[in-house]
Structure 1
């Protein structure tokens, strides 16, 4: 019989590989200022092993000070979409995850310019946040133009794999919406294959953007290079897990 009372924390956890860049070009002084002055107040507590060694579930309500609906953006890039959604839906709280520090700095600048206050920023791997989010705590999730990892041997690094999708499904409320935008046909293929078995129903796959969409710099690059955007929408299945 398994011991279901055992803590989820493993004192000797397997090493979690991270692929991709954490740093890019040298930051401008203004961006360094955003990181030093703004990031601390926007970081959710209890995400890293250092400040939550037992990997105890965090309280999402404590992030925004109330029980508002929580949305999640995985890999927010330069932050255009995240800030846009925060401004358009001030009644929600949106948490963004992004390990690329240059993207974090860009987001912080956009947050200042827009004056939005319903945002929280985890400058690291989304898996660390998914580890400690309570079950059924996220109402909407976004994966906007993720790293395509085009080589076949690298497809396992994509977000749309069970390693990421199963924790995401656990954290999402039944009926919650998961949106994926990409310009890579093979990423669409893998998304359609991998997401439903993790506990989601496909609602739509189309070349027409959502009504509340804002075109990001990654999408503009794709359009300039004659690649066709795809917008895929899933709903977290209602069944209890």
Structure 2
């Protein structure tokens, strides 16, 4: 079994670091997860590909993926604003999953499906050109040099992201860590199927028009760390 983080033809070892369940998950939230999550969670196939359309009862006009949705603020808002689209959300930490499920339950939003696991496991089973957008917003920067290999945006995962984007689809990345922004650019500019959309400095300083700020982004801004927004278009 490979353990280098690659996402090619060989098996992928699940890689989740840190505590998956924090102290903030109260009994009522646990009960809600027990009741609602089974109907929302993504079951990965042991073999073959996973058609996103099979996850939703109705016909969706397209599909998006958010990797590491945190508390789910951005994902829930995007899903509510785009009921014609199916949203796949990945977050291994159950506190965040609980927050998203609570929001979906309260709003009656039913076009989100959730994987509480390693995002690479989902990327590898998705069909080619099946997504119109992927968002990776303020992922854990793993700032220590020896931990950099844990970063979800890297030269192994970016080719898989490019593969599952439809022609003209978009990859959106955001970080408040300058070193991670450089790291992201190194990985994405090395992928020939992706083109950086920036034409001027404001294109990476200002969030896209439909961006919904997250609590982590607000914390970074309070602490004086401005965000970098990177957008890439998949080759036609």
TM (normalized to structure 2)? 0.89
Note if 1:217 corresponds to 2:215: yes
- Give the deviation of 1:26 after TM superposition: 4.7
Partners of 2:14 and 2:121 within 8 A in 1: no
Query: Superposed, which structure 2 residues align to 1:43-192 within 5 Å?
Result: 43-45=41-43, 47=44, 52-54=45-47, 56-65=48-57, 66-192=59-185
SS class of match (2:213): coil
Q: Distance in 1 between matches of 2:69 and 2:132?
A: 17
SS class of match (1:190): helix
* Runs of 5+ unmatched residues, structure 1: 1-7
Q: Indicate the residue corresponding to 1:4 in structure 2.
A: none
Partners of 2:61 and 2:85 within 8 A in 1: yes
Q: Distance in 2 between matches of 1:86 and 1:69?
A: 12
- Give the deviation of 1:159 after TM superposition: 1.5
Partner of residue 193 from structure 1, selected from 176, 186, 191: 186
Q: CA distance change for structure 1 residues 14 and 42 in 2, over 3 Å: closer, same or farther?
A: closer
TM (normalized to structure 1)? 0.87
Count of aligned residue pairs for this structure pair: 223
Structure 1 outlier segments of 4+, above 4 Å: none
Q: Distance in 1 between matches of 2:99 and 2:25?
A: 10
Q: Distance in 2 between matches of 1:95 and 1:57?
A: 15
Q: Which range moves more in the overlay, 77-86 or 57-66?
A: 57-66
Q: Distance in 2 between matches of 1:182 and 1:100?
A: 19
